[in-house]
Structure 1
Amino acid sequence: MCSNLLWKANKRGETLLHMAARHGHANVADHLLQVCKIIKADDQELGITATRRMLQMTSHGAKDTALHEAVHYNNLDVVQLLTKEDPSLPYDANKAGETPPYLAAERGYKRVLEEILITCYSPADHGPYDRSALHTSVLRNDIDKLIALSG
């Protein structure tokens, strides 16, 4: 695979990894990340590996990462793959102010939220209006998520 195609985005700024994450194609997402490791398109000056660069890429309008996409569509296999690839990666909020854990809590995706909280070292969980995933769980009266978030 030509390395330039890995970073090529469509008109909405979505990479191949964004699309694989949205559609739940964990095998394709895994292959893309493995190709990144092979081509070693690392930016040594910035200290960013090729896989980290790919995981951090955001779409133009919504500013979503591939993890945002996987969470939006409740694709647990892809969430597991992406979070395990780099558990220390801080996933920032998208244009709407939503982090992946916040999205999972807001949409009621318990398994996705648990995966992020268990795997990521320090996941940001804030959302719009200064609400956290915990706030969202309280508003939704979701006891299971409250236990997961506080444990």
Structure 2
Amino acid sequence: MGLPDLRTALAQWATGVVVVTTVREDGTRHGMTASSFTSVALDPPLVSVCLASAGTTCRSVRRSGTFAVNVLAYDQRDIGGRFAGMNSSAEDRFALGNWLTTGNGATVLDDAVAWLDCAVTGYHLAGDHTIVLGRVRAAATPRAAAPLIYHDRTYYEGIAR
């Protein structure tokens, strides 16, 4: 199976949309939209995200040892798009939405469906990506809302509650 066929096949997997945030070496906030996020264990509380090994987010997470996962709601398509874009600076991405800092220093979206503040517990190289394992230090569900869904390279609004 060639890479174009693989990408097309994988695009058929519907997934929720998250924004992964961390801190850059210069202390500024950084974030990116991701769809490779999963719960790993409840005891201890572990999650994972897959990040491009050569990317700014992966380098920043490695340096800081921390990241947050923000689960986007159906009406936060613009935030998902902004953090997926390559044309906005790291700070410009945070201009949309109300972002807070947790007691651990993580940047979280005030009205996300859920957010998780994580400390890195391990890195696992997997091809051109790194699987980052994080222990959840804090979590919240700021509002009940249907999730933003990503399928076939398109955002879909989840079924409203």
Work out which structure has the larger RCO, using CA pairs closer than 8 Å and 6 or more positions apart in sequence.
2
Greater per-residue strand proportion = 2
Greater per-residue helix proportion = 1
Q: Taking structure 1 as the reference length, what is the TM-score of the superposition?
A: 0.26
Q: Taking structure 2 as the reference length, what is the TM-score of the superposition?
A: 0.24
